Amino acid sequence: MNFDFFRTKLKWRLATVAATSFIFVSTLGTLGYTVAGAFHYMASVVDDIDDARAVTAAKGALRALQKQLGATVRDNAYWDDAFSQMSGPGATDWATENWGSTTANYPLYDTAMALGTDGKPIMAYHKGEVVTDPGFYLGKLAQVIDAARRPDPGRDGVPVSFIETQDGIAIIGAAAIQPSAFEDKLDYSALPVLVFSKQLTPTVVAEISATFTISGLALQNTVDPLRALHAELKNMEGHDVGYLTWPHVAPGTTGYLRVRPTVVGAGIVLILLLTAVGGAGFMAFRSISSSERRSAYEAKHDALTGLLNRVGCFEQLEKAVQSNILGASLLMIDLDGFKPVNDAWGHAVGDELLRSVAARLVDHLPDGAIVARLGGDEFAVISRDQVLKDGALAARILTSLSSPFVIGGRTIEISCSVGAANMSEPGTNAAELLRRADLALYRSKDMGRGRSMIYSPSLDEDAANTSDLEQELRHALASGQIRTVFQPLVDATTREIRGVEALARWKSATRGDVTPEVFISLAERAGLIDQLGFEVLRLSVREASRWPGVGVAVNVSPLQLRNPYFASQVGDILAQADFDPMRLTIEVTEGVLISNPDQAKRAFKTLRNMGIKIALDDFGCGYASIGALREFGFDRMKIDRSLIVALDHDDRDGAVLHATIALANALHLPVTAEGIETEEQAAAVRLSGCDELQGYLFSRPASADQITQAYFAPSSRLAG
């Protein structure tokens, strides 16, 4: 019985051990299976998260490219100068200089086209070369053009998509060339269109890959969703024209496969690895979150200065407006003198200057003020404090930028213009606040360098009035309402007529006589100065043809000399009128010395080769130096009227006049004295060395018929 009992007991123990072992092994197996399944699941989740991150980053990269190109198209197409130039005879040359030539090395686009209302190219360049093949864009360019001509009152609706070209897939943006401010009455369907595009070359794709941490990024025409991740490139109709593809990195699966043997072999290691994988998952999640935050930051910040960009600025402005803070204000800042710095010392110095300006604005503005760079040399400040009643914040900005900057051992002085607008009433939206600040900035720049202007409703009235006057001037130029009068230039000794100065006059049908100061300045701003200047020249030489041997002087704006074809067009007008070039004198003011001086010197050389003389007008009221007088080689100097008037009030001013004339004589420059009204003034300037006089003492500006009657008619006592 005992043997049977022990045998039975041993069987129970064996059964118990077996059962325990089975349970233990089963538990370990189940645990191992569960742990392995958990690892596999976590690996799959990490893979999915990484895939989602990569897709989000790729789509974010495409959106960033579209926003950049859209902003570039908007800045160039919504431009008053471009709008006026593209309707003029020099549209192709102007477009080539401003857009076509930049395609050779501009980072945001390598193709630029300006298309006329008939759809034909006014200008077309690709990578610095003229595009001769009309089929360069293989995609549906017509849909892009149609979208570009849709009215854009919000100024943020520039269409940007992707398109097939002969060189591959490109990102393309287009907009109708129009005024900076939206105009309801403008027929946008009849406007020329500016097209910018950028080829998605391997270099561009590689930059996207590096910037957004997407390994193996490639541009493909087709995609297998099971083998690669992708982001669609859609055309204007929403159809796929290509794909950005990249392989599944699968960081979770890779890690799981590496630790699986160890997990199977040892439970402790399994637990440790579970912990490690959990940590790795957390790090992967944190990396993805960091990448997303970085992408969001880059989309709203300027890469050069680190400030908010236009998108980020408008977002902050909308938040301030939505908070209904009546003290919220927007200040637009435009740097005065930045372009000459960029042209003289290069983009590297220009970029460093922009960074220094950004740092100085941040340092000098009160806490809570938001500083942004909108593009180029334009900045903005958003403030929630009520500081605009006395312009304190605008004054602080002007003061902060008035001190010189030291960059690379160079001392650089610039200034700025400021336009400000505040939310003075509930319901003002961000776009309206931006429009008002921009209008105030425009007015401050119109007043001169280093000025500020706070928006008031009168600016809208002035802008409307200026717009109306501009349209009247366009009509006047088209209908021949511009006329010329002439003021004699007489010999200082004999009082015989030597020549005449042509002066432009305009009598508006609705406003009466408009002063030259008003309509010439308006023509310069509206891009009409070439048309006005050549019309005055044409009228002047036609009238002067009746006075043989008498010279005629015609004033030219410094802006006209920016036209590379100015000299040749002058020659064409003289040839058409059969007018001797040696009788013509071109008068320029001292502004030509700083407004594109190299181009001016080239124009002067061509004009002199024709026999035309160049005179420096209004000397003594500006900044011309002796070096500049020698460098430009003027043929005559005209003394500003202010120095003549001063003769009657202050002996010291008389000494300045005598010294000025002596300087001209030392440089062998003949001198004309303007504004002579009395015999005493005439005698004084003649004795000082002036050989030619002009002023009311001899004649007020008169019509060509009156000049003929007074000086050239046989019965005239002044004739001969």
pLDDT for position 379: 97
Q: How far apart are CA 416 and CA 526, in angstroms?
A: 22
Out of 191-195, 255-259, 269-273, which region has the weakest mean confidence (pLDDT)? 269-273
Flag whether pLDDT at 4 surpasses 50. Answer: no
Choose between 586 and 218: higher pLDDT: 586
Residues of the chain with pLDDT > 90, as a percent, come to 44
Place of tokens 């983009």: 347
- Overall CATH class of domain 465-712: alpha beta
pLDDT for position 641: 86
Place of tokens 């994988």: 277
Flag whether pLDDT at 23 surpasses 60. Answer: yes
Q: How far apart are CA 632 and CA 616, in angstroms?
A: 10
Parallel/antiparallel/unpaired status of strands 228-234 and 240-247: antiparallel
pLDDT for position 422: 84
Considering the chain, tell me which residue range(s) the CATH 3.20.20.450 domain(s) occupy: 465-712
Flag whether pLDDT at 18 surpasses 50. Answer: yes
Average pLDDT of 72-101?
91
Flag whether pLDDT at 324 surpasses 70. Answer: no
Average pLDDT of 69-96?
90
pLDDT for position 464: 84
Considering the chain, tell me which residue range(s) the CATH 3.30.70.270 domain(s) occupy: 310-455
pLDDT tens, position by position, 162-208: 999 988 899 999 999 999 888 888 888 889 999 999 999 998 898 88
Residues of the chain with pLDDT > 70, as a percent, come to 86
Q: How far apart are CA 336 and CA 450, in angstroms?
A: 7
pLDDT for position 87: 84
Mean pLDDT score across all residues of the chain: 85
> For helices 679-688 and 651-666, what crossing angle results, to 10°?
40
pLDDT for position 221: 86
pLDDT for position 349: 93
pLDDT for position 2: 42
Flag whether pLDDT at 391 surpasses 90. Answer: no
Average pLDDT of 496-523?
93
Token pair for 318? 């909308």
Helix (H) or strand (E) holding 29: helix 2-77
pLDDT for position 60: 82
pTM attached to this predicted model: 0.53
Residue 419 makes CB contacts below 8 A (sequence gap 6+) with 331, 332, 437, 438, 439, 440, 441, 442, 443, 444, 452, 453, 455
Hey, what amino acid is at 160? V
Q: How far apart are CA 378 and CA 359, in angstroms?
A: 14
Which band of pLDDT confidence, cut at 50, 70 and 90, is reported for residue 717? very low
Which CATH code, of 3.50.50.60, 3.40.50.720, 1.10.287.110, 3.30.70.270, is assigned to 310-455?
3.30.70.270
Flag whether pLDDT at 718 surpasses 60. Answer: no
- Angle (CA) 544 545 549, round 5°: 85
